């Protein structure tokens, strides 16, 4: 999951509320979800937007080539504002956070499951049920991520809650205990 900066949260909150009050929320949500998918598939685009040596005009030109007519006028107003404030570097964070807020509005909880190896459908379903139990929500979107460096076990993230039952996590706990001695 992308780390969301305070600045991105402020822009998202304002944009979310504005599009909601203007009746453009669903259209903006469609733009953001499409953008998130494209940015996830093309990490070079995110690196390009975060590169401080590239000017906002070049960044806007690329965004227009990629998204052009796909984005609504409301989304373009946000992007133009970000360019004017020299904040296009947080566009990926804004896109992700907007999607989270929209899903929350619809009653969907986002969770991330990190394992050392891919999980089968039965295990994924068990984690899905556990997230439903923890959150009390019936709609859950569970993102699976494979990170071999956790060695084994799992890390489950639900909003600000982080359950680390990985071997790497346990080894770090043991290391911390030894360092206190």
Residue 155 included in any domain: yes
How much is the average pLDDT of 34-63?
Answer: 95
> How high is the mean pLDDT of the chain?
94
Q: How many CB atoms lie within 10 A of CB 13?
A: 13
Same domain, 79 and 93: yes
Same domain, 92 and 152: no
Give phi and psi for 55, each to the nearest 5: -75, 160
Whether 21 shows a pLDDT value over 80: the answer reads yes
CA distances from 124 to 88, 107, 135, 161 (A): 36, 20, 16, 18
How much is the average pLDDT of 82-99?
Answer: 96
Residue 1 included in any domain: no
Domain boundary among 48, 83, 104: 104
Structural domain boundaries, residue 58: 6-104
Domain boundary among 51, 83, 104: 104
How much is the average pLDDT of 130-141?
Answer: 91
Instruction: Report the distance separating Cα 56 and Cα 158, nearest Å.
Output: 34
Same domain, 85 and 117: no
Domain total of the chain: 2
Q: How many CB atoms lie within 10 A of CB 87?
A: 17
Place of tokens 């052009």: 68
Whether 1 shows a pLDDT value over 70: the answer reads no
How much is the average pLDDT of 99-111?
Answer: 89
Instruction: Report the distance separating Cα 110 and Cα 119, nearest Å.
Output: 18
Whether 104 shows a pLDDT value over 90: the answer reads no
In tens, the pLDDT along 159-180 reads 879 999 999 999 999 999 999 9
Same domain, 11 and 100: yes
Q: 155's torsion region: left (phi>0), alpha (psi -120 to 50) or beta?
A: beta
Instruction: Give the side-chain half-sphere CA count within 13 A for 149.
Output: 1
């Amino acid at each position: 999951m992308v780390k969301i900066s305070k600045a991105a949260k402020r822009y998202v909150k304002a944009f979310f509320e504005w599009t909601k009050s203007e009746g453009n929320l669903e259209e903006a949500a469609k733009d953001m979800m499409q953008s998130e998918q494209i940015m996830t598939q093309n990490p070079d685009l995110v690196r390009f937007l975060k590169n401080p040596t590239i000017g906002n005009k070049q960044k806007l030109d690329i965004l227009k080539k990629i998204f052009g007519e796909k984005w609504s006028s409301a989304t373009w107003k946000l992007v133009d504002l970000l360019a004017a404030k020299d904040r296009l570097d947080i566009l990926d964070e804004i896109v992700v956070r907007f999607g989270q807020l929209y899903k929350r509005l619809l009653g969907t909880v986002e969770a991330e499951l990190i394992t050392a190896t891919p999980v089968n459908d039965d295990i994924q379903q068990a984690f899905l049920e556990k997230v439903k139990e923890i959150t009390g929500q019936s709609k859950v979107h569970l993102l699976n991520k494979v990170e071999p460096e956790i060695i084994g076990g799992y890390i489950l993230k639900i909003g600000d809650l982080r359950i680390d039952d990985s071997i790497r996590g346990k080894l770090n706990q043991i290391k911390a205990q030894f360092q206190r001695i």
